[in-house]
């Protein structure tokens, strides 16, 4: 069905209004990381226990997502033993200021960014004390370490800590998200990096595919621990969010229909005829940072289609959903099996991407619930979609990070 832009806009707002009214502004499950009482952790380091992670350097070919192997051993294995992934690698209390000066800070004050039971893929772990995991890491602007804990989640005991693992350049621009601009011929591009404006100038290099490329500058924002209100975002859930950059690509040419003159031979006679042919105009773009030593750091190249112009009769294929949450491809952080649908949703959208023009994700979004590391993992999960079509978000109560402004 072909719908004008004005009619489409009315339909969209009606759907959004109904969804917002019917939506329950409460999380549909407990944030898995909240199960771990990391603030109650105690030291139980054992010289006979070990944790080893490999490879130690990731992203040597520009990847922002890599799989690693974690091997571990304990002389006193238990079914309650678990592996925590920490980033930054130093997760001691020295990195966490006390909320109350009259109360001693905990031994450990940083929640893991993900976790998994030690026997998850090693059924004989309880017998021989040896196990291994395949875990997926994304570039999150810092290094990683892996820790073996005993005594479950409520009173964990730290048994062993691994070597550190890091991406070759943890600061690179990652996880672009497109959004329709305020004008019909404008597209906003938002991404995350480890570069502040005192280190590098952020911009987007973009233009018609195969055509002239131009640079558009970006604004940069971030927030501090003191800006967020309350636990766990301000305590064990805090993690440096890096820098969030947004650039606006303007005066885009729409998907237009051009009239081409074709010369056709009909019964040996030359006649002129006209044929309307739809031509898709694709834009390519790369995220860039110009360092003050005049070198450049680039992302990979992405592409998108421009929006139709107002009044154009065009088929707009729209996807609308809410309450997606996030999931881990390696099976970590799972709780009550309520996250599997998240990964299934993104996989299906990626599969159908060529048939999608815009996505509306009505909050709740990723159920981070104060664990800031989860936002990076969410943007990494949706990157194949959000980097190619406008990904429009609507906030609801459980999607908001409380800020003290």
Q: Average pLDDT over the chain, rounded to whole?
A: 84
pLDDT of residue 400: 53
Same domain? 149 vs 236: no
Same domain? 26 vs 68: no
- Say which CATH number the domain at 85 has: 2.60.40
pLDDT of residue 396: 58
Where residue 253 falls among pLDDT bands split at 50, 70, 90? confident
Sign of CA dihedral 6, 18, 31, 101: positive
Sign of CA dihedral 343, 348, 352, 357: negative
**Rounded distance, CA 33 to CA 368, Å?**
9
pLDDT of residue 303: 94
Largest CA distance in the chain: 98
Same domain? 112 vs 177: no
Same domain? 180 vs 101: no
Secondary element (H or E) of residue 382: helix 373-386
Residue spans of alpha helices (H) in 2-133: 5-22, 125-128
Domain end residue (candidates: 167, 194, 229): 167
- Say which CATH number the domain at 245 has: 2.60.40.10
pTM of the model: 0.84
With tokens 């409460």, the residue in question is 26
With tokens 């380091």, the residue in question is 45
Same domain? 226 vs 360: yes
Lowest mean pLDDT among 37-41, 183-187, 269-273: 269-273
Lowest mean pLDDT among 4-13, 47-56, 128-137, 166-175: 4-13
Same domain? 353 vs 207: yes
pLDDT of residue 170: 96
Same domain? 328 vs 348: yes
Same domain? 175 vs 123: no
The C-alpha angle 159, 162, 165, rounded to 5 degrees, equals 155
Structural domain boundaries, residue 225: 5-30+171-254+281-399
pLDDT tens by residue, 337-390: 557 788 899 999 999 999 999 999 987 788 888 899 999 999 999 999 999 999
373-386 and 340-351 helices, crossing angle to 10°: 20
Q: How many domains, in total, are found in the chain?
A: 2
Same domain? 190 vs 203: yes
């Amino acid at each position: 069905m072909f719908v004008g832009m004005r009619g489409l806009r009315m339909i969209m707002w009606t759907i959004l209004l109904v969804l917002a009214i019917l939506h329950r502004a409460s999380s549909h499950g407990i944030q898995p990381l909240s199960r771990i009482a990391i603030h109650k952790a105690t030291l139980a380091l054992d010289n006979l226990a070990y944790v080893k992670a490999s490879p130690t350097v990731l992203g040597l070919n520009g990847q922002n997502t890599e799989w690693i192997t974690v091997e571990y051993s304990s002389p006193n294995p238990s079914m309650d033993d678990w592996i925590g992934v920490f980033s930054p690698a130093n997760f001691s209390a020295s990195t966490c200021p006390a909320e109350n000066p009259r109360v001693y800070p905990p031994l450990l004050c940083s929640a893991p960014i993900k976790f998994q039971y030690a026997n998850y893929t090693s059924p004989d772990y309880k017998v021989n004390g040896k196990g291994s995991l395949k875990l997926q890491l994304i570039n999150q602007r810092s290094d990683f370490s892996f820790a073996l804990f005993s005594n479950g989640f409520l009173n964990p005991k730290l048994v062993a800590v691994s070597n550190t693992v890091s991406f070759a350049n943890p600061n690179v621009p990652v996880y672009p998200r497109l959004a329709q601009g305020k004008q019909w011929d404008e597209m906003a591009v938002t991404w995350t990096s480890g570069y502040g404006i005192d280190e590098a100038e952020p911009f987007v290099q973009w233009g018609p595919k195969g055509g002239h490329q131009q640079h558009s500058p970006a604004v940069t924002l971030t927030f501090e621990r003191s800006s967020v209100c309350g636990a766990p975002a301000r305590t064990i859930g805090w993690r440096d969010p890096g820098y969030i950059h947004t650039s606006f690509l303007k005066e885009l040419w729409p998907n237009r229909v051009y009239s081409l003159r074709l010369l056709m031979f009909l019964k040996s006679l030359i006649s002129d005829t006209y044929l309307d042919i739809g031509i898709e105009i694709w834009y390519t773009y790369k995220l860039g940072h110009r360092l003050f030593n005049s070198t450049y750091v680039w992302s990979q190249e992405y592409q998108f289609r421009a929006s139709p112009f107002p009044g154009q009769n065009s088929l707009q294929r729209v996807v609308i959903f809410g309450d997606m949450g996030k999931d881990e491809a390696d099976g970590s952080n799972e709780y009550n099996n309520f996250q599997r649908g998240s990964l299934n949703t993104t996989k299906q959208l990626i599969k159908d991407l060529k048939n999608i023009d815009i996505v509306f994700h009505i909050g709740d979004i990723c159920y981070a619930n104060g664990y800031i590391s989860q936002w990076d993992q969410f943007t990494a999960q949706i990157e194949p979609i959000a980097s190619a079509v406008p990904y429009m978000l609507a906030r609801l109560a459980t999607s908001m990070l409380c800020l003290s402004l």
